[in-house]
Structure 1
Amino acid sequence: MKIYSFIIFIFFIASFNLQASATLKQLAQHPTWLSLGHYKKPAFNESYITNTSFFISSRGATSPFEELKATVQNFNKDPLTQCKYPARYTWLQKQGLTFTQPKTSCIELEQWRDVQPIHSISLIFASGYMSNPASLYGHLLLKLNRSSAKNNKLLDYSINYGAHVPDNENGLVYITKGLFGGYKAGFSDQLFYRHQHNYGEIELRDLWEYKLALKNDDTKFIANHLWEILGAQFDYYFADENCAFHIAQLIELVIGEQLTNNSSPWMIPTTVFSKLNQATYNNKKLVQEVRFTPSRSTVFIEYMKKLTSKESTIAEQIYKTPEFLEQDDFISLNIKSKKRIIETLFELAQLQQIKKHNIDHIKSLKKALIKTRLTLPIGNEVHVSSYTQQAPHKGQKPSNMSVSSTQVNKQHNFGLGFRLSYFDSLASDVARIAFSNLEMVDTEVSILNSNLYLDKLHLLDLESFSPAYVKWPKENNLSWKINAGFERQNTLCQSCTNTFVMGGIGKSYLTNNNKTLIFTLANGYIGDLAATDNIYDASLELGLITTLYSDIKLRASHEQFILENNEKSSTQAEISIPINQNFDIRVSYKHSNLTNWKLKLNYYWQ
C-alpha cells in the first residue's frame, strides 16, 4: 500500500512539474515577457541588451524560456530579486503565478518612484541640432511626471537613451562608429531641468511634450521596467537602434506594437511622434495633450516682433552703445516702450552669453540695462501668449518616392526617385531647422530610348545656413554644405557624370521679414568631374530661398566655376508646391550648356 501511495505521489509531482513547465513555455512567448527581455523580432533568440549581468540565467540573453524559468526560481528563493526586477514580479503575479517568498520592501526603488509619486508619462521631442551628427534628426526623451501644485515639473525624471561616447571623440570616428554599432549605449535618468536647460538654453532647441493618457498601473509598470534597465547596455546604431526605437519600445509595453510596427530599416524621432498621435489606448487617443516649450532663441525672436520700428532702432543703438540709455531719444520714450526695449535686450544678452559672443561688451550692456530697469515700475511688459511653431507629428514625413518627367534639349524622359530621409530646403518648416537641408540616400533614375540611367545618388547632402535673425549683434554665423555622391550632368552632355565629394562655406542673410534667405558660398569639389580634366574644382555660388505665397517656396542659385578658362557656370531654380502632408509638386529648371526642365510629384511616407 505504501508503495502504491509513493508511486501516486511521484506521478502527481511529475504531472504538476510538466504542467508548470508547459505554463512557463507559454508565458515565455508572451509579447510582454519578450518585451521585458528586449528580445529581437522575429526569432526572439537574441536580446538587444548585451551585458550578461542583466540576465538571471546564463542563457537568458538568447532564451526567453530559460530566463523566465530562472526568474521564477529566484523569486521563490531570494526576496531581493523583487527589488531588482519589479516589473517582472508584478507581471508574473498578474499571470496567476505565486511565489514562496513574501512581498518585500524595496527601499531604493520606493524612494526613486514613490517619495514624489510618478503619476503620468510624457514623450519629449527636441528639434534637430546641426552641430551634432547624432541629433540631426532631433532627439526623443521620456519624462516621468512627478510635478504637483507644490513641485515644479522641472523636478520630473527625464529618461535619456544615448551612446557612451568618449570625450573629444573625432567627428569622423563618431559618425562611423554611430552608423556601424561601434558604441555601447544605455538609459540614464536625470531631473528634467538638466535636459531642458541643455536643449533649450545651450543648444537652443525647441521642445514638444506629448503627455500620454495611461492608467496608473501602466505608468507604474513602465517606471518599474525602467528601474530594471537603467544599468543595461545596448549596441548603438544611429539609423535604427537609437533613442527613437528603444524609447518607443518602452511605451509599447502597455499599448502594443503601434510605434515600431513596420519593416523600415531606419527609425526617426518624428516618425515615432507621427505614429504616437495616431495611437490608441483603451479605445481612446493615447496622446492626452501636446505642449510647446520654446528655446531661448525662439523666445528672443518673439520679443523682437513686439518692438515697433522706432523701438527696434533704439534697441540697436543701445546694444552698440549702452550709454545711449542716458540719451534723450530713450529717456523721452514712455514707460511701456522703455520696458519692452530693455526686456528684449536682456533676452539678446542671454543669447550672446550662451554663444560666448562679445563677452566683455555683454557684461557692460547687462550692467547698464539693470541700472536703468531699476528706475522703472515693476512688472513685465512683453508677454508672448502663443507661438507659431507646429508639433512634429504635423510635419512632412521623412522618406520620399517620386515620379518625374524631364525635358533636355527637346528629349523627354520618365524618371523615378527614392530618398531615405529626411528633408530638403524647400520642405515644410514644421519641427525642423528652417533654411536647412538633410538628405540621405537620395536616388533618381530615368528611362530614355528604352535605356535606364542612374541620374543621381547622393549618399549624404547637408546644408546649414544659420542666418542671424537680428543683424546688429554682428554674429559670425557661417553657412556650410557637404555633399557626396554621383550625378549625371545631362545639361553638359548626354554622357557626362560626376562622382564627387564637395564642401562649401560662406554667409547667409535674411530679408523680406525673415521670409527670404540670400546666401553666398565658396565650394570645393574632389572626384571624377565631368567638366574638367582635374580631380578637383572650385566655384562661387550665389542663391536665395524664399517663400512666395503661403507654403509655396522657391530656391534659385547661380554657380560660377573658377579654376578653368572656359568659365563654366550653372543656373538652377526649383519651386515647391505642397498639396498636403504626403504630397507636393516640384517644378525645376537647370541650365549649363543645355537646358533641363523637370516636373516631379513627390510622395512622402514613414
Structure 2
Amino acid sequence: MFIYSRNTSEFRGRIPHYFLFPLNSIVYPAIKRSLVLCALLLLSGAQAQAASQKEILQTAKQRGLARHPTWLKLLHYERDGKRSVVLTDNFFLSPKGRTDPEAELTATIHAYFFPWDENADAQPRCRFPARYYWLSRQLPLPHYDVREESCQSLEKWALFDTVKSISLHLVSGYLGNPASTFGHAFLKLNTDSMDDQSGLFDMTLNYGALVPENEYILRYVARGLFGGYEAGFSDKYFYTQDLVYSRTEFRDIWDYRLILTDYERTLLILHIWEIVGKKFTYYFLDKNCAYRLAELLELVIEEDLLSHGRFWYLPVELFHRLNDMDNARQKSHGIKRVQSVRFIPSNQRILYHQLKMLTPDELGIFNAIVREGIDSLSTHLPQLSMDRQMVVLDSLLAYQQYKLISEEPNPPRQRREAKDKILLTRLGLPARFMPPLEIPELPSPAEGSRPMALGVGTALDVNDGSFLQLSWSPYKQELVGKNSLEGDELTVLDFTVGISQEGDKVFVDQFDLIRVLNLNTLSVALVDENPWSWQLRVGMDRIEENGKDRYDGVIRFGPGYAQKLKETVLGYGMVDLAGHAQSPFVRLRPHLGLKFDWGATQAWIYSGAESVDYKGAFRYVGGGKIQFPLTDRAAVHVEFSNEKATRASLGLIWFW
C-alpha cells in the first residue's frame, strides 16, 4: 500500500521522494529489464541491418553489378568505363565515385540504410531514385518502395500517375544560331490530359550549353567546338519550348512517340530527376543535345545508338538510328520503339496557311490595313460583306498575335494597341464557326538522306580531259537531295579530290567550307514580312591554265528573291558579290535558277553572268545538276558547268 504525500513541493517526477525506497524494489528491476530488452532489440536490429548490408554488398560483388552496363549508364561513365562525364560533385556519394563505379555502388548501398531525418528530400534514396529502382531488381533491398512517402519533392515532380508515354522531339534547323543550324532535340513526358490536348503543360527535358549573355559569335563558336562551355539538363514545361522554337524562331517540330514498358518509362523518368541541373562539358559537334539524349535512351533501349558515331553526332542522326532500329526489329518480328511520328508546324506555317484561305482581294485589303495601320479598318472593311469581314478580322488577329509573340519580350506598344482594336471590332460582329486548319505535313528530316556523303565519279574537262573524282562531306543536304529543306541547301566541309587518268597526279579539285542557299518561298505575299532569299559560299576552286593548277579562294554572298512557280517548280534570282584570291578580286554575279521536284528525282539549273574586270565586262556562267535515287542510301548524279572550265561529270553518291 502506497501513501502519497500531500506536499507537492517534494515531488520529483511523479513519485514522492520519501516513498521512493519501497518503489525501488519493484519498479527499478522492471525498468532495468525493459532497458536491457530495448538495448538487445536495438543491438539485434543493428546487427541484422549490418548483416543485411554485408549480404547485399556480397551479392552485388558476386553479380558484378559495379561493371554492369546499366550501372555505368546511370553514372554516365564514358564508353570505355573509366570515368564519369558528370562534372557536378554531389552527383556522387563516394569521393571516388567519378572514377570508381564499385566505390559508388558500395556508397549507394550503404546510403540506402541511412536513417530518415527532417530533410528527407536530401536523403540519397530521394536524390537517386533510379539507382535504387534498378538495384531493387538486382538485390533484395529491404522495405523498398519506388514511391517513398518521405520523398515529397520527387512525388510531385515525377507525375507517377499521369505520365502515359515519352516522346523525342526533333526541331528543324535554324540559321540564326550556329548551334541550331543542324537542328535540335529534346524529350517530352506526355500526360495526354484532356484539359491540355496540346501538351503545353507537359514536362520536357532539354540539354544545352550554359552560355553567358551577349557572347561574341566567334568566341561562342570556338568555345562550343572545343569544349569551352559547361552544359546541363533542364526541365521546363513544353510551352516554353513551343514559344522559342515554334513561335519565335518559326521552326517545325516532329514528335516521335516512343513505345516503352512501364519499367523502362519509370526508370527513365527517375533518372531524369537525378541529372536535372547536373553539369557536363559541351561540345557542339558531338557531345551535344542529341548525343546526351541518346545516352539517356540507351539506359532503357538495348540497341546501341552511339557506337557508330563519327567525329560528330547531329540531332537528325539520333532519329536515323531510331528508324534503323525499328526496321531491324520489324525484320526480326520484334516490337517497334517508335509508335508514331507527328508533325507540329511552326506558328509561321500555320499563319501562312490561314492567310492562303483569303481571296486575292481580301489579301490586298489585309495588306493595306497592315501597311496603313489599324485606323484604316473603317476605310477598307466596308468593301467586304459581313461574312468576309469576319474572315479578314480573324486573320488580322492571328497575324498580330503571331507578331506579338515573335517580338517578345518587348513588343512595341502599338502592336498591343492594334490587336486590342481589331479584337473590339471583331466582337462587334457575330461569331462564326472556324473549322480546324489542316496543315499539309512536312516529312521528318530523318525520312530524307543521311547527312554524311561519300561520292565517286568521273569528270570530263576541256583542259584536263577525263579524271576520277572522289568527294566527301560530313554534312551534305543539297538542293537536289532528298531532304526536308524545301529547296534550301546546307553543305559543310565538302571536299572533292581528283586523280588523273594516268594516276600520276592527285589534286584538290574543290573545297567548300560552307555552302548555304536559303530560298524564302512565302506562300502568301505579306507587306510586313522579310521576302528576301540569300546564299553564301566560303571555299576554294582549282583553276587549270597551261597545264598548271592555281587555287582561287572564294567568299561569296548575295541576296535575291524566290518564288514557287508551280507545285514542282521553284524559281529564284540572285545578285552575288564575291571576293576572290585571284584577279579580279571583286566580282559581281547576277544569275537565275530553277529547281525541279519530280518526286524522288530532283534537278536544278542556273544561268547568269560574272564580271571579269572592273570595266563592266561580263562572261556567261551556267550549269546544273540532276540526281536519281537508287536506294535510301545511294543515288546517281549528273552535273555540268562552265564555271572553272567547261565540264561534265557522272557520279555515284552514298549517304551514311
Q: TM-score, normalised by structure 1?
A: 0.87
Query: Residues of 2 paired with 1:205 and 1:18: CA distance?
Result: 51
Q: Tell me the residue number matched to 1:4.
A: none
Which runs of structure 2 are paired with 1:113-124 in the superposition (5 Å)? 113-114=158-159, 117-124=162-169
Q: Tell me the residue number matched to 1:308.
A: 359
Contact 1:546/1:553 (8 A) holds in 2: yes
Q: Tell me the residue number matched to 1:230.
A: 276
Q: Tell me the residue number matched to 1:9.
A: none
Contact 1:36/1:88 (8 A) holds in 2: yes
Q: Tell me the residue number matched to 1:598.
A: 649
- Deviation sequence 1:420-448 (CA, Å, 0-9, x none): 01412333342x3x343322221111221
Query: Residues of 2 paired with 1:72 and 1:593: CA distance?
Result: 69
Does 1:442 find its partner at 2:480? no
Tell me the amino acid that sits aligned with residue 35 of structure 1.
K
Does 1:186 find its partner at 2:237? no
Does 1:495 find its partner at 2:543? no
Query: Residues of 2 paired with 1:476 and 1:524: CA distance?
Result: 23
Distance change (3 Å), C-alpha of 1:65 and 1:236 = same
Q: Tell me the residue number matched to 2:250.
A: 204
Q: Tell me the residue number matched to 2:72.
A: 34
Tell me the amino acid that sits aligned with residue 172 of structure 2.
S
What SS does structure 1 have at the residue aligned with 2:576? Answer: strand
Deviation for aligned residue 1:220? 1.3
Q: Tell me the residue number matched to 1:509.
A: 562
- Deviation sequence 1:96-148 (CA, Å, 0-9, x none): 24259996621111111137632221111111111011111111010112342
Q: Tell me the residue number matched to 2:103.
A: 66
Contact 2:303/2:325 (8 A) holds in 1: no
Tell me the amino acid that sits aligned with residue 83 of structure 1.
C
Tell me the amino acid that sits aligned with residue 304 of structure 1.
L
- With 360-369 and 343-352 compared, the bigger mean Cα shift is at 360-369
Query: Residues of 2 paired with 1:524 and 1:420: CA distance?
Result: 25
What SS does structure 2 have at the residue aligned with 1:82? Answer: helix
Does 1:95 find its partner at 2:138? yes
Q: Tell me the residue number matched to 2:84.
A: 47
- Deviation sequence 1:170-192 (CA, Å, 0-9, x none): 11111111111111001000111
Query: Residues of 2 paired with 1:342 and 1:493: CA distance?
Result: 68
Which runs of structure 2 are paired with 1:207-606 in the superposition (5 Å)? 207-280=253-326, 283-321=334-372, 325-326=377-378, 331=382, 333-354=384-405, 366=419, 369-381=422-434, 383-409=436-462, 411-430=465-484, 432=485, 434-448=486-500, 449-450=502-503, 451-476=505-530, 478-490=532-544, 495-498=548-551, 500=553, 502-513=555-566, 515-525=569-579, 529-532=581-584, 536-547=585-596, 549-550=598-599, 551-561=601-611, 564=614, 567=617, 569=619, 571-579=621-629, 580-592=631-643, 594-605=645-656
Corresponding residue pairs, total: 581
Tell me the amino acid that sits aligned with residue 394 of structure 1.
E
- With 100-109 and 130-139 compared, the bigger mean Cα shift is at 100-109
Query: Residues of 2 paired with 1:127 and 1:383: CA distance?
Result: 24
Deviation for aligned residue 1:374? 2.9
Query: Residues of 1 paired with 2:431 and 2:304: CA distance?
Result: 51
- With 593-602 and 209-218 compared, the bigger mean Cα shift is at 593-602
Q: Tell me the residue number matched to 2:184.
A: 139
- Deviation sequence 1:174-222 (CA, Å, 0-9, x none): 1111111111001000111111111111111111111111122211111
Query: Residues of 2 paired with 1:108 and 1:356: CA distance?
Result: 36
- With 359-368 and 144-153 compared, the bigger mean Cα shift is at 359-368
Q: Tell me the residue number matched to 2:154.
A: 109
Q: Tell me the residue number matched to 2:27.
A: none
Query: Residues of 1 paired with 2:112 and 2:554: CA distance?
Result: 59
Unaligned runs of 5+ in 2: 1-50, 117-122
- The alignment's C-alpha RMSD in Å is 3.2
Deviation for aligned residue 1:161? 0.3
Distance change (3 Å), C-alpha of 1:22 and 1:331 = closer
Does 1:148 find its partner at 2:193? yes
Query: Residues of 1 paired with 2:60 and 2:383: CA distance?
Result: 87
Deviation for aligned residue 1:323? 6.4
Does 1:57 find its partner at 2:110? no
What SS does structure 1 have at the residue aligned with 2:443? Answer: coil
Q: 1:126 aligns with which of 160, 167, 171?
A: 171
Distance change (3 Å), C-alpha of 1:415 and 1:256 = same
Identity of aligned residues (%): 28
Query: Residues of 2 paired with 1:531 and 1:569: CA distance?
Result: 14
Query: Residues of 1 paired with 2:593 and 2:415: CA distance?
Result: 32
Distance change (3 Å), C-alpha of 1:360 and 1:105 = closer
Tell me the amino acid that sits aligned with residue 174 of structure 2.
Y
- Deviation sequence 1:86-105 (CA, Å, 0-9, x none): 00011111102425999662
Distance change (3 Å), C-alpha of 1:593 and 1:452 = closer
Contact 2:57/2:106 (8 A) holds in 1: no
Query: Residues of 1 paired with 2:423 and 2:60: CA distance?
Result: 74
- Deviation sequence 1:316-369 (CA, Å, 0-9, x none): 344434566546x85464555433333333333334445559968866764564
What SS does structure 1 have at the residue aligned with 2:235? Answer: strand
Tell me the amino acid that sits aligned with residue 603 of structure 2.
K
